[in-house]
A = this chain, B = another copy of it.
């Protein structure tokens, strides 16, 4: 979960929030926010310079808030985006993931007392959500206590807090397994895109090259692409068509 949000809550929301009241206890939300740029999958991470570690955006659930709404709120806060593709993928509840050390370090650096029973130092179980966003539209936004909020290449992640590397792996596994079924790849692209761009999203997610003719034929056969126009690339070759994703009529 996002340490920053913990502080956010502890420091600014309400008096009650200071001791964790006003939130569902023991449960957090972590978001693996994927973006796509330069034929690479990116993940949005927050940096905590005090610990030398990075963390997934995360937070807590308000007393009367739906779990899914909490996830939406968290992702919207860090990206500035609404109408985000969000999918709950796993709830991480191993006891071994409980490690109050990094949190303690951050709290100390901020001058917050760290009694052993402080609510931020208790065990948390976290529900993982994966978000697919348009890289060109997202505005990475750190919160009050994180130092940066930036995109990182999935293949070159910095050292992550707790089990956040595991959470990202599981998110990617889920994305791969449900890609064909849920047709979620489109969410990583701008509203309009070429077949080549779509193919490169698929290739990057699946980590394998696809056969161009077969990919194009398959995508067109699904009836989910609407042709918009041609696109002059300024390159010395035929201009590709531009498509838009249209929801399949059931």
Contacts and interface: CB of A to CB of B under 8 A. Distances in A.
A63 B90 CA distance: 20
B66 A95 contact: yes
A128 to B, nearest CB: 9
A68 B93 contact: yes
Nearest to A64: B95
A88 interface: yes
Interface stretch (A22-30, A72-80, A188-196): A22-30
Contact of A125 (B24, B94, B96, B123): B24
Interface residues on A, range: 20 to 34
A61 interface: yes
A123 B66 contact: no
A150 to B, nearest CB: 29
Nearest to A181: B177
Contacts of A177: 181
Copies of this subunit: 2
B61 A125 contact: yes
A90 B88 contact: yes
Contacts of A61: 93, 125
Contact of A66 (B64, B65, B94, B181): B94
Contacts of A94: 66-68
A61 B63 CA distance: 20
B67 A91 contact: yes
B67 A127 contact: no
Nearest to A97: B66
Nearest to A178: B177
Of A25, A66, A93, A125, chain B has the most CB atoms within 10 Å of the CB of: A93
15 contacts: A24-B26, A24-B123, A24-B125, A25-B26, A26-B26, A27-B93, A27-B125, A61-B125, A64-B95, A66-B94, A66-B95, A66-B96, A67-B93, A88-B90, A91-B127
The 8 A-B pairs of least Cβ separation, nearest first, read: A67-B93, A25-B25, A91-B91, A66-B94, A25-B26, A91-B127, A26-B26, A24-B26
